[in-house]
Amino acid sequence: MSDEKSRNHPDTDSVALGYEALRHLGSLKPPIYETSTFVFATAEEGKEFFEAAYGDEGGEPGESGYIYSRLDSPNLAPVEARLAAWEEADDAAVFTSGMGAITSVLLTFLRPGELVVYSLPAYGGTTTLMAGLLPDFGVLTRPFRAGATIDDLESLIGEDNLKMVYVETPANPTNELFDLDLCFTLARRHGARLVVDNTFLSPVWQKPIRHGADLSLHSATKYLGGHSDLTAGAVCGGGEDIARLRRTRYEIGTTPSPGTAWLLGRSLETLRMRVEQQTGNATQIASFLSGHEKVSRVGHLSQLEPGDTRHDIYKRQCEGPGAMVSFEIEGGEAECFRFLDAMQLVRLATSLGGTESLASHPWTMSPPTVAAEVKRSIGVTPGLIRLSVGVEDVADLIADLDQALSAV
Ligand SMILES: Cc1ncc(COP(=O)(O)O)c(C=O)c1O
Q: Which of 102, 103, 123, 126 to mutate to test the pocket of ligand 1 (most atoms within 8 A of CB)?
A: 123
* pLDDT for res 64: 72
402/366: higher pLDDT = 402
- Res. 68: pLDDT tops 60: yes
114-120 and 295-299 strand pairing = unpaired
Q: Which residues line ligand 1 (CB under 6 A)?
A: 97-99, 123, 125-126, 168, 172, 197, 199-200, 219, 221, 231, 233
Mean pLDDT across the chain: 95
* pLDDT for res 365: 93
- Residue 204 exposure: Cα atoms within 13 Å on the Cβ side: 26
Name the pLDDT band for 366 (thresholds 50, 70, 90): confident
Name the pLDDT band for 57 (thresholds 50, 70, 90): low
* pLDDT for res 55: 72
Chain centroid, CA 372 distance in Å? 25
53/173: higher pLDDT = 173
* pLDDT for res 87: 98
Name the pLDDT band for 7 (thresholds 50, 70, 90): confident
For ligand 1, atom 2: residue with the closest CA: 123
Helix (H, G, I), strand (E, B) or coil at 269: coil
Mean pLDDT of 149-178: 98
- Res. 60: pLDDT tops 80: no
CA distance 89 to 341: 43
Single pTM value for the model: 0.96
Whether the upstream peptide bond of residue 367 has omega within 30° of 0, thus cis, is: no
- Span 94-113, pLDDT tens digits: 999 999 999 999 999 999 99
Mean pLDDT of 221-234: 98
* Tally of CB atoms within 10 A around 326: 23
